[in-house]
Amino acid sequence: MYKIIHNYDWLIFDADNTLFDYDKAEKLALLNTLNDFDIGYDKNSIIDIYHKINHKIWMDFEKGLIKSQAEIKQKRTRQLFEVLQVNRDIEQFADAYLVNLSKNGHLLENALHVIQSLAKTHQMVIMTNGMTQVQRPRFKASPITQYFKHIVISEEIRYSKPSPKIFDYAFKLMEHPNKHKVMMIGDNLGSDVQGGINYGIDTIWFNPNSHKVKHQATYEVTDLLKFIKR
């Protein structure tokens, strides 16, 4: 993969679960918020319950079935309350959860080291469907973002992956490089990989758990270190 990635001048990275440990951030934010609102929960199941709710809603958003990130906040909180059979203010809980999430910017193992190395040879962009009020504080506090030339947050431009329009926006910032010299890297086959395919650029599916799934990504890697190992 080291030789392959050096055929490209620009690398577009997804953020969550590609560079940032979103699963860890989600867990910490959820438990802290539930505790802040004095809501009881089963420690053995709550994370899995919320993850399934959140994942399904984000998939619906990427398919266009949910129209805004404000709707995401409402729906996932309402569904969580229904499962837990609690009655709290949905807006207050949703906002508190996002504040807690914004405070958790843990990076995946080796992410910083890999990006520091790639920054010597490539120009890079972060492209995320995450919410602005979560991503901006995390990015500002993280040592990794200094190595990226541009950061594109879908909520700020009103287009999200896999829409070609978010790639149009990024390519304008990048001053319209040759598509053959641009690679999209991400963990999500629906938004990252399909988005890149839709736009006509090569893609890398980051698959750290080695899921056995048919896909159309140009390449697949299970370890970020593959990008810098000769």
Catalytic residue among 9, 16, 23, 38: 16
Identify the DSSP state of 190.
I
Helices (H), 119-192: 132-141, 154-157, 164-173
User: Edge-to-edge strand order for the sheet containing 123-128?
Assistant: 150-153, 123-128, 10-13, 182-186, 202-206, 219-221
* Annotated catalytic residue, options 14, 21, 192, 202: 14
3-class DSSP state of 104: coil
What residue spans of the chain are helical by DSSP H? Answer: 2-5, 22-36, 46-62, 69-84, 90-102, 111-118, 132-141, 154-157, 164-173, 194-199
Closest CA to 69 of 141, 160, 177: 160
Q: Is 38 a catalytic residue?
A: no
14 is an active site residue: yes
CA-closest candidate to residue 149, choices 129, 179, 122, 186: 122
Helix (H) or strand (E) holding 123: strand 123-128
Tokens of 166: 């978010």
Asked if 86 contacts 10 with a C-beta cutoff of 8 angstroms, the reply is no
Instruction: Just list the catalytic residues.
Output: 14, 16
